[in-house]
Amino acid sequence: MNPAANPPVDPAGGGLEVDVRFAERDLALDLSLAPGEVLAVLGPNGAGKSTLLGLLAGSLRPSGGRVVLDGEVLADDRGTFVPPHRRGVGLLAQDALLFPHLDVEANVAFGPRSAGVPRARARERARRVLAEVGADPFARRRPHELSGGQAQRVALARALAADPRLLLLDEPLAALDVAAAPEVRQVLRRVLRGGTGDGRRSAVLVTHDPLDALALADAVVVLEAGRVVERGPAQQVLAAPRSAFGARLAGLVLLPGTTTADGLRTAGGTVVHGPVRGAAGERGVALFSPAAVSVHAADPGGRARNRWPATVLDVLPRGEVVRLRARPDALPGHDVLADVPVAAAAALDLAPGARVHLVVEEAAVGVHVAGPPSAPGESDDRRTRPVPGFP
Ligand SMILES: Nc1ncnc2c1ncn2[C@@H]1O[C@H](COP(=O)(O)OP(=O)(O)OP(=O)(O)O)[C@@H](O)[C@H]1O
């Protein structure tokens, strides 16, 4: 099942239904999101990702179509337009944008206070969401006393304090340095997967990073020139892309499995070694570029740990290189791509059925924890299904 394309019909009208036009920017988008799901929105610059968020948040008014959240029409072409502050939609932008003169707790309590919640209750709620994002130790600090990652966690707490029905995340990790991004990614995972006691949250995540889509989202839509060109479960879209942008993202080899201390164990028990981004023992993926794979006629020996005998499936010329698709004996059901310089390919006499040895450079493998787990009681079939082979 693909929940992004075909969310279950909820008798209470839950989830998000978007079928909007924004003529000024030649945008016409049709997408939906089941309750509790996280949808990643990918696409090249100018595709319409920010415009989509504006239409959901209420900072932009569609020129046609409608936006429905949990059965409530937020905007339609009959003149309905619910203003931003009444939508139950929270926004986390790239920059934290905290009020500099208020301490962290007051920043987070500001939203509930403005919505008429009495001071003590607003403060209590602020403390609860600050604890949820691990920011309670710095509740008394002012924004200038926070690191970038801490400020972004406070901004997330502020978005959660209003208890939004839908959370919009606009490149929430893009402004963070490489040290701070993993920590905030981890907090986002926890918040979005409902490990904080608040249940799963519906969220739309705009990102340029396919790895964040894998780590945080259930489903992905790819936008190009104001249209949805692909949608589906995150792993499927990234492993077998159909759009030009998806294909560009996914010149990558993607293998699913379980993270270990120094790699990823596939369902068949083979460990793909590489640096691990996240904890061991989680469902994850190993990703690498076909350029990181070298091809040998015989076992080259040496210390390389990702060294797999394989059978060549096909060989496609791609300019300076030939792209080889091969099936390693140790990875049944999975194909690995390798880009081999034309001269080397000729010397290897590559043809379908040939036996080769693949070596994948360890440092070039990224192992990532992938996707939030299912809600309790929900079937996990979709997420544990093997990722289909590459086109
Ligand atoms: N304020 C604006 N006024 C007029 N046109 C705009 C405005 N903002 C964006 N556009 C145009 O609308 C289209 C969609 O832009 P949008 O910013 O939504 O894309 P995006 O996918 O978010 O891009 P990026 O990844 O660069 O942020 C583009 O053609 C863009 O030039």
How far is CA 201 from each of CA 26, 130, 204, 257, rounded to the nearest angstrom?
30, 17, 10, 25
pLDDT at 359: 97
pLDDT at 142: 96
pLDDT tier at 291, thresholds 50, 70, 90: confident
Instruction: Verify whether ligand 1 is closer than 6 Å to residue 127 (CB atom).
Output: no
pTM, rounded to two decimals: 0.70
Domain coordinates of the chain in residue numbers? 16-235, 251-369
Q: In this predicted complex, what is the ipTM?
A: 0.95
CATH class of 16-235: alpha beta
Instruction: Verify whether ligand 1 is closer than 6 Å to residue 50 (CB atom).
Output: yes
Instruction: Verify whether ligand 1 is closer than 6 Å to residue 46 (CB atom).
Output: yes
Over the chain, what is the mean pLDDT? 84
**Two tokens at 270?**
């083979």
For the stretch 119-167, pLDDT in tens is 999 999 999 999 999 999 999 999 999 999 999 999 999 999 988 999 9
Q: Whose CA is nearest to atom 25 of ligand 1?
A: 45
pLDDT tier at 389, thresholds 50, 70, 90: very low
Please state the rounded mean pLDDT for residues 311-318: 88
Please state the rounded mean pLDDT for residues 376-382: 32
In CATH, what number does 251-369 get? Answer: 2.40.50.100
Please state the rounded mean pLDDT for residues 248-253: 65
Please state the rounded mean pLDDT for residues 231-248: 70
pLDDT at 247: 57
Instruction: Verify whether ligand 1 is closer than 6 Å to residue 94 (CB atom).
Output: no
Instruction: Verify whether ligand 1 is closer than 6 Å to residue 379 (CB atom).
Output: no
- Ranges 59-68, 171-180, 281-290, most confident: 59-68
50 CA to centre of ligand 1 in angstroms: 7
Mutate to test the pocket of ligand 1, among 25, 169, 245 (most ligand atoms within 8 A of CB): 25
251 CA to centre of ligand 1 in angstroms: 26
- Nearest-atom index, ligand 1, CA of 53: 18
327 CA to centre of ligand 1 in angstroms: 42
**Two tokens at 329?**
């004996």
pLDDT at 373: 41
Please state the rounded mean pLDDT for residues 345-360: 91
Burial of residue 73 (CB within 10 Å: 0-12, 13-18, 19+) is middle
For the stretch 142-151, pLDDT in tens is 999 999 999 9
Q: Whose CA is nearest to atom 14 of ligand 1?
A: 48
Number of C-beta neighbours around residue 65 at 10 A: 17
- Nearest-atom index, ligand 1, CA of 206: 22
Number of C-beta neighbours around residue 96 at 10 A: 22
**The CA-based dihedral angle spanning residues 304, 308, 314, 317, taken in that order and rounded to the nearest 10 degrees:** 0
Instruction: Verify whether ligand 1 is closer than 6 Å to residue 2 (CB atom).
Output: no
Please state the rounded mean pLDDT for residues 86-103: 91
For the stretch 35-67, pLDDT in tens is 889 999 998 889 999 999 999 999 999 999 999
